[in-house]
Amino acid sequence: MSYGLNETSPLFRAHNTATQTGVGLNALFNINQSEGCEIDSNEVVVQNDRVFVYGELKATNITLLSFDIEFSSNDSNNSQGWQVANNLNLWHMIGDDGIYAVATSNTGIAMRQKSTASGASSAEETRIFGVRTL
């Protein structure tokens, strides 16, 4: 792990503080608070770093039983995760609750909605944690 001269830690984090409703396909989940990184248009911005990032999302009122999320970055490295809703039918189990990715330099990292029909869903909390590993 390491950090740059203009940084104070290899660790960074970001999250959203308000419930986001009506998250549509390919839309970015909001993030509005951060420590150790900058936020630009719902993207975590880390410059001149190689980073490992981990994210989680808590969502409600999911119209599909699955809820797919993706880390996307402007270096074209994408990593997908998958969350499965709790529901009354009981046969669905949680498959992959988190999302992981490795991204490289000058990266803007965002969590993107990848389900096909969850426009009525609400993202209660979006979390992104990262470490600089270069």
Partner 1 sequence: MSYLRIPVPLTMIEVSLSSAATVSTGSMVPFDTVRATGSHGVTVNSSTGEVTLDTSKQYYIQASVDVSRSSTTTGFRFAWVDSTGTEIGVASGGYDAQWDYNNNSTATYTAVYQSTTPVSPIRLKVDSISASSTLNLATKLFILEVTA
Interface positions with partner 1 (CB under 8 A):
1-5, 8-11, 13, 15, 17, 33, 35-36, 48, 54, 56-62, 67, 83-88, 94, 97-98, 124-125, 127, 129, 131, 134
The closest alpha carbon to 92, from 103, 82, 106, 80, belongs to: 82
d(CA 32, CA 103): 21
Collapsing DSSP to helix, strand or coil, 48 comes out as coil
Q: Tell me how far, at minimum, the Cβ of 124 lies from partner 1, in Å.
A: 8
Q: Which residue, 73 or 126, is less far from partner 1 as judged by CB?
A: 126
The single-letter code of the amino acid at 31 is I
Minimum CB–partner distance for residue 1 and partner 1 (Å): 5
In the complex with partner 1, the residue whose CB is nearer, 41 or 89, is 89
**Beta carbon nearer to partner 1, 45 or 131:** 131
Q: Which residues contact 106 (CB under 8 A, 6 or more apart)?
A: 47, 48, 74, 75
